[in-house]
Amino acid sequence: MTRADHRPVTTSTVPPAANGHVELRAVLGMFATGVTVVTSGRDLPHGMTANAFTSVSLDPAMVLVCVKRKSILHDTVLSQGAFAVSILSSGQEGLARYFASSSRPRDEREFATVPCQPGQHTGAPIVEGSLAWVECKLAAVYDGGDHSIFLGFILGTGRGDGSDALLFHGGRFCGVGSG
Ligand SMILES: Cc1cc2nc3c(=O)[nH]c(=O)nc-3n(C[C@H](O)[C@H](O)[C@H](O)COP(=O)(O)O)c2cc1C
C-alpha cells in the first residue's frame, strides 16, 4: 500500500463550530454504534436516546454514558443517583426517534405510550422489547464539555428475546442481524 492510499478525501485542521458542527458530526458519525434509551426516575421518570454508551469494566461491572448537560435526564440522574440503559432492537427505531425528539412531552405523559417496566434495582423504566438492559448506581460524574460522563456501577442486568440490534451510522438508523 502506498502513501497515497492513505490520503484523506477531505481534511479539516480545526473542527469548525459553525453550522452546528457539521464536519465534526460527519466525522464522528462514521463510528457505528448501537442505540440505547437511558432512563432515570421512579415517580416522574425521564428518558433520552443515547449512543454514547460503553462498557468500562467487568470487575467491578461498570458502564458509562455521556449525557448533555442541558437535557432533563441529566439532572434527573444526578438527583436519583441511578439510571437504566435499554439497548434497542432493530424494530425500535420509532422509540429512538421519540426519545431524541424535542417535541415529546416532558411530564408524566413522556412514558404514557411507551411499554416499559420499572427496573428492579432503580425503578427507572426498562423499555419492553429491548435486546438487553443494565441498571446502574451512579458511581462518578466527569466533566465532558457540554456533556457529563456518568459512570455507573451495574446493579442488575437483563436480556430480552430479540437478537437484531438497532444501529446508528452516518446520521442514519439501520439494523443488523446476529446471523
Ligand atoms: C441516535 C442518537 C444518539 C444520541 N446520543 C446521545 C448521547 O449519547 N448523549 C446525549 O446527550 N444526547 C444524545 N442524543 C440526543 C438526545 O437524544 C436528544 O437531544 C434528546 O432530545 C435529549 O433530551 P432532552 O430533549 O430532554 O434534552 C442522541 C440522539 C440520537 C438520534
User: What gap in Å lies between CA 126 and CA 120, rounded to an integer?
Assistant: 9
pLDDT, tens digit, for every residue of 25-67?
999 999 999 999 999 999 999 999 999 999 999 999 999 999 9
Q: Is any atom of ligand 1 closer than 6 Å to the C-beta of 37?
A: no
Which sequence spans correspond to the domains of the chain?
A: 35-169
* Per-residue pLDDT at 5: 59
Q: Is any atom of ligand 1 closer than 6 Å to the C-beta of 71?
A: yes
The model's confidence at residue 70, banded by pLDDT at 50, 70 and 90, is: very high
pTM of the model: 0.92
Task: Choose among 161, 167, 30: nearest CA to 90.
Answer: 167
Q: Which long-range contacts (CB under 8 A, 24 or more apart) does 111-115 make?
A: 111/45, 111/47, 114/47
Q: Which residues contact 125 (CB under 8 A, 6 or more apart)?
A: 39, 45, 47, 84, 86, 111, 114, 116, 117, 118, 119
The yes/no answer on whether domain 35-169 falls in CATH 2.40.160.50 is no
**Mean predicted confidence (pLDDT) in 1-10:** 60
pLDDT, tens digit, for every residue of 122-136?
999 999 999 999 999
Residue nearest to atom 13 of ligand 1 (CA): 50
Q: Is any atom of ligand 1 closer than 6 Å to the C-beta of 168?
A: yes
Residue 8 has pLDDT above 70, yes or no: no
Q: Which of 48, 63, 99, 149 to mutate to test the pocket of ligand 1 (most atoms within 8 A of CB)?
A: 48
The model's confidence at residue 19, banded by pLDDT at 50, 70 and 90, is: confident
Pairing type for strands 165-169 and 46-50 reads: unpaired
* Per-residue pLDDT at 7: 66
* Per-residue pLDDT at 175: 80
**Mean predicted confidence (pLDDT) in 142-150:** 98
* Per-residue pLDDT at 4: 52
User: What gap in Å lies between CA 133 and CA 84, rounded to an integer?
Assistant: 7
Residue 156 has pLDDT above 60, yes or no: yes
* Per-residue pLDDT at 14: 58
pLDDT, tens digit, for every residue of 75-111?
999 999 999 999 999 999 999 999 999 999 999 999 9
